[in-house]
Amino acid sequence: GQQVMQIPQYQHVQEGEDFTTYCNSSTTLSNIQWYKQRPGGHPVFLIQLVKSGEVKKQKRLTFQFGEAKKNSSLHITATQTTDVGTYFCAGNSNDYKLSFGAGTTVTVRA
């Protein structure tokens, strides 16, 4: 079955620095979504990418979908303490099911 892998599992970042988290699928995806879960909270939808090579930006967050539609990345610039949480990618392969990765947990050093 479809598997979605995320790296790194943990990301410890100095406030103000940039970082990138990566997502890889074992199968070609119809779309990929990104969610953020704050400690003790629930996943909150951030964005959906559909087209091969698509790039979308949300303020300091840049999301990219690979040309083969099997991988994606999230790049955060000038990290702030509000960026703390776990970022999940979730892949969809033309059916009802979203397959979530295990997430990248981000901590920020002030």
Partner 1 sequence: ETGVTQSPTHLIKTRGQQVTLRCSSQSGHNTVSWYQQALGQGPQFIFQYYREEENGRGNFPPRFSGLQFPNYSSELNVNALELDDSALYLCASSFTSGGNEQYFGPGTRLTVT
Is position 61 an interface residue for partner 1 (rule: CB under 8 A)?
Answer: no
Angle value at C-alpha 19, between 84 and 5, nearest 5 degrees: 85
- Nearest CB to partner 1, comparing residues 7 and 102: 102
Identify residues 21-40 at the interface with partner 1 (CB under 8 A): 30-31, 33, 35
- Burial code of 23-36, b = ≥16 C-beta within 10 A, e = fewer? bbbeeebebbbbbb
- Nearest CB to partner 1, comparing residues 95 and 110: 95
Is position 55 an interface residue for partner 1 (rule: CB under 8 A)?
Answer: no
